[in-house]
Every structure is written in C-alpha cells, then in structure tokens.
C-alpha cells in the first residue's frame, strides 16, 4: 500500500500572533505596537486575536514565555555544550552569543529586554514575565560556571549565580547601545570584552594557557 503524504500542520492563529509579536515589538517597541499591527503581521483578524488573548498586555506576557521557549530550544541544541572543560562551555556560550549578532539590530536584539525597558514600572505582569525569561536563561549557565570555578580553585565574587546574571547584564546593555548607535559592532565588541573578563577571572590567557 502507498502511504498518503502527511499534510504539514499550519501554525494556528495563536502561534502566528506570538511570532508576529517577536518581530514587531523588537522593531517598533511595545508601546508603539498596536493590536492592528500584530494582526496585520500575523495575517489574522482582530476577532482571532481576542479569541486567544484578552488584551495586548496578555499577549505580551505570553510572548515573553514563548520567547523563552523558542530561544531556549536554540541554546539547548548549540554546540557550546559539547566540550568536556566547563570553562570551554562558558566561553563557547559567549562565542555563540556573538555569532548570533547578525543582520539588522531588530533581528538579534532581545524581545524581553525591549519590553521591560518600557513597562518595568507600569506593568508588573509583563515586567515579571521578562524577568523570568532573562533570569531563567542566566540560570542555564550557573552549573558550568560553578564547575569551572571548582576545577580551577577560583572564588567568584558573588558566586556563580551572580556571574551568570552579569553575562546577561552585559549582553542586554550591549543591545541597548547597539540600538542607540545603530551598529551591531557595539554588541560584538562588548561580548568580546566580557569574554576577556571571564578568561582573566579564571586565569586563562587568550591562547588557552593558564596565566
């Protein structure tokens, strides 16, 4: 018997709206983005929007979680997890972040970083969703940082959790300055500085040898 080809399942309206939020909000900012903008980008009606989301704020919270899921899958599969040395994994993560800085500024900058700058004082639900996303991503680095510190007898000021969060401070700040200067190179330069700092903290020179 000949098997019938399976039809590719098309994204439903909810996923289309979330995908449109990832694109439009990074381009226009959260406040300037309207429900009409999101519907137009997604190719759905306003009726479909309000079937899935109570409001634009409701979509923003869902979009923050969706951002965490989609980017989390990307980072989970990345090759920087492969090295045996945990420090190589940490440095590989920074190399991976630098490699992602490609194309227009809106293509590589962070959705949750963009939103939280606008609404941190006016919308606690969106702020908390953005914080959950950023700190959740930082948490994925903690075990590698802690293992690298233990293996080398390095005491990290504030602990592994603090350094993991600091990586996001630098990267998010780099995105802000890349927007201000309209220059992706600002972001890549900042990540290079961060990598040099980590190498110095762990006593590794640029050629991989101990200092």
Structural contact between residues 203 and 194, judged by C-beta atoms closer than 8 angstroms: no
Structural contact between residues 130 and 64, judged by C-beta atoms closer than 8 angstroms: yes
**pTM (2 decimals)?**
0.89
Tokens describing residue 202:
């762990």
Determine the pLDDT at residue 10: 60
CA end-to-end span of the chain: 67
204: pLDDT confidence band, cut at 50, 70 and 90?
A: confident
Query: For 105-119, what is each residue's pLDDT tens digit?
Result: 989 999 999 999 999
Residue 146: Cβ-neighbour burial (10 angstroms; 0-12, 13-18, 19+): middle
**What is the number of other CB atoms lying within 10 angstroms of the CB of residue 123?**
18
Residue 33: Cβ-neighbour burial (10 angstroms; 0-12, 13-18, 19+): buried
- Residue 2 pLDDT exceeds 50: no
Determine the pLDDT at residue 145: 98
Question: Is the four-CA dihedral 8, 14, 17, 22 of positive or negative sign?
Answer: negative
210: pLDDT confidence band, cut at 50, 70 and 90?
A: low
CA separation for the pair 134, 75 (Å, rounded)? 13
Structural contact between residues 46 and 35, judged by C-beta atoms closer than 8 angstroms: yes
Query: For 101-154, what is each residue's pLDDT tens digit?
Result: 999 998 999 999 999 999 999 999 999 999 999 999 999 999 999 999 999 999
């Amino acid at each position: 018997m000949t098997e019938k080809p399976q039809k590719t399942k098309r994204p439903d309206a909810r996923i289309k709206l979330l995908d449109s939020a990832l694109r439009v909000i990074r381009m226009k900012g959260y406040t300037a983005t309207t429900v009409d903008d999101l519907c137009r980008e997604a190719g759905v009606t306003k009726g479909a929007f309000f079937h899935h989301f109570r409001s634009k704020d409701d979509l923003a919270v869902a979009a923050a979680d969706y951002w965490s899921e989609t980017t989390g899958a990307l980072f989970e599969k990345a090759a920087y997890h492969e090295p045996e040395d945990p420090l190589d994994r940490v440095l590989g993560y920074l190399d991976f972040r630098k490699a992602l800085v490609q194309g227009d500024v809106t293509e590589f900058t962070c959705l949750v970083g963009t939103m939280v700058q606008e609404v941190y004082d006016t919308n606690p639900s969106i702020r908390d969703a953005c914080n959950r996303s950023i700190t959740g991503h930082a948490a994925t680095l903690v075990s590698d940082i802690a293992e690298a510190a233990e293996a080398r007898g390095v005491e990290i000021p504030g602990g592994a959790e603090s350094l993991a969060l600091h990586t996001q401070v630098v990267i998010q700040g780099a995105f802000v300055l890349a927007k201000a200067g309209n220059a992706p190179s600002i972001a890549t330069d900042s990540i290079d500085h961060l990598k040099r700092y980590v190498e110095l903290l762990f006593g590794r020179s640029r050629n991989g040898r101990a200092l």
